[in-house]
Structures are given as structure tokens and as C-alpha cells.
Amino acid sequence: MKYAFVFPGQGSQFVGMGKELADNFKSAKEVFEEVNEALEQDLFKIMTEGPESELMLTANTQPALMAHSMAVVKVLEKEFGIKLKDKATFVAGHSLGEYSAACASGVFSLSDTAKLLRIRGDAMQKAVPAGVGGMAAVLGLSFKDVDALVEACTDENNLCVAANDNSDGQVVLSGHMAAIDKAVEIASEFGAKRCVKLPVSAPFHSPLMAPASEVMARAFMQVDSSDAQIPLIANVLAEPITDNKEIIKNLIAQVTGTVRWRETVMFMQEQGITDMVELGAGKVLSGIAKRSAKEINSVSVGTTADIEELAKNL
């Protein structure tokens, strides 16, 4: 058995996340307390009680999802004696999930990861004025085939790029709102089954996020880092790295760069990964893997029952 552990990105959050883990495990509760302390905010209360509008704010969503993922990691380690570095061939995470992966592999401390994600969320939100940019999911076109649609929606005043290559037939576009609206309108002419705007507040993973890249470059200078104990497959490379300076460089590039998730999963399959385990909230990444990487057994682990089942198999 060869395991890869992956960490979810924005969109997997829900009100109530983490409560059951904190109720059942002291180690999970300690994770949430440490994140609260690092952020000087009761983020756990927002995670468990809402309101949803507060949880959906990017600056809250990003550290919240990381905290849930790391609570699962700590429960596996402290309550079941299972360390990821002893079991994992690779770690990876989708967008903000790459920070969770870096934390889980020992690159950053939990407190620093929470602070970095708060800075990242704030910077991404402020990079573009509200309403100027957006994102849309294109269904039914491959990453290669979406190029023509992107070109048709781009002009000298409006930018459109492929931001997330999630799987065959699911590509997310990002850019100026006018370009995104046009993509939704004309996507069917390019062979897409559907093109739907996403409920996000900014054009993530596009060149419009350049101001946020600069903020993150400064933020990383303020934290300590170590080489990864588990090879981390970077979003913008779709290949593994362990050097901490390279990981930071690629996390900065990731703010404006494409999340190459389809290639990441294909790389895992080519490397003989038998089991991909999604740690944290939701089932987005395991769902994608079930559709696109048939040779990999993929599961999501976010509750006590999930953890107990995984521990038996590990």
C-alpha cells in the first residue's frame, strides 16, 4: 500500500465543522485553541456556530479549513499513534490546502500556518475591489480545450485565465467579471456542457492577485520554516519538493498561478499510489479522484468514525 494524504481547499467549509472532533478528542480541541490564540479570535466559535456569512469570509475560511485538517492529523498522531511521515509517500493540498499539507509535513508550525492563511485570505480579498473579478466552473471541457474559450473572453481590458485544472471535464476560470460573464454566456458554443459562476469574492489564482503575492512574499520572511518531512506535490509544479525555500517560492507563485490538481492526481497514480486520503472537511478531493483516477482508492476522513476506520486500515 502506498498512501498520499491530501488537504481540501475553499468550498469544503460548513458550519459545525470540527465540533464533533473537539468533543471527542483533547488533541483536536488543543489544535482549535492554538489557532484561536494565534489569530487572537474565537475562530472555532465561527466554525461551529456560524453565522455562515462569517465563516464564508475568505480570511476565516482559509485558517478554519486548515485547523480542521490539522485536528484530524493530530488525532491520528496523539490518539492512535499514527504519524503521517511514517505512512505517507506524498502530501498535497488544493490551493489553501497546500498550506495544510506544508504544516502536516513539518514545514511550518500550526500557529504560523494559521497566521499565514489569515494574511493570505485578507490579501486575496483586498487585491481586487469587490465586484471587479470572479470565477466560473466550466464542465465538459478539458484543460487543453478550454484555451479557445479563454481566448474568446480576453481582451485588452478584461483578463480571463484557467485557474484550476481540477479533473478531466472540470476547469475553473478566473479573471475580470466581464470576462467571466462572457464565458458563462458563450461556453456552450465551445463545447462545454455547463459554465456556472462560483460564489467567491475575488478572482483567485489569476494575475489579478499579484498584490497578494507581494504580501505573501513579505509574510513568509517573518516565519520559521523547515524542509518537508514528506515530499509535497506543489500546485503550480504538479511534482514533489521537500526544500523549504522551494516550497515557499511555489506557495507565493500559487497565489497567481494555476492549481494543477488533475496533473497532481495523475502523478500520484503514475507513482503507484494505491490510497489517497483526504484529511479534513468535505469530500471534494476524494470525489474528484474517484472520477479521474480509477486505480486509486480515495477516502475522506473528517469525523471520529472516519478516523477510527482509517486507523484500522493503516
Query: Could you list the active site residues?
Result: 95, 205
Contacts of 62 (CB under 8 A, 6+ apart): 10, 96, 99, 117, 118, 120, 121
Strands 232-233 and 240-241: antiparallel
15 exposure class (CB count in 10 Å sphere: 0-12, 13-18, 19+): middle
**HSE-CB for 255 with a 13 A CA cutoff:** 24
Sign, Cα dihedral of 229, 234, 240, 244: negative
CA distance 190 to 141: 8
Residue 107 near residue 226, CB atoms below 8 Å:
yes
Query: Which DSSP letter does residue 259 get?
Result: B
Query: Which DSSP letter does residue 193 get?
Result: S
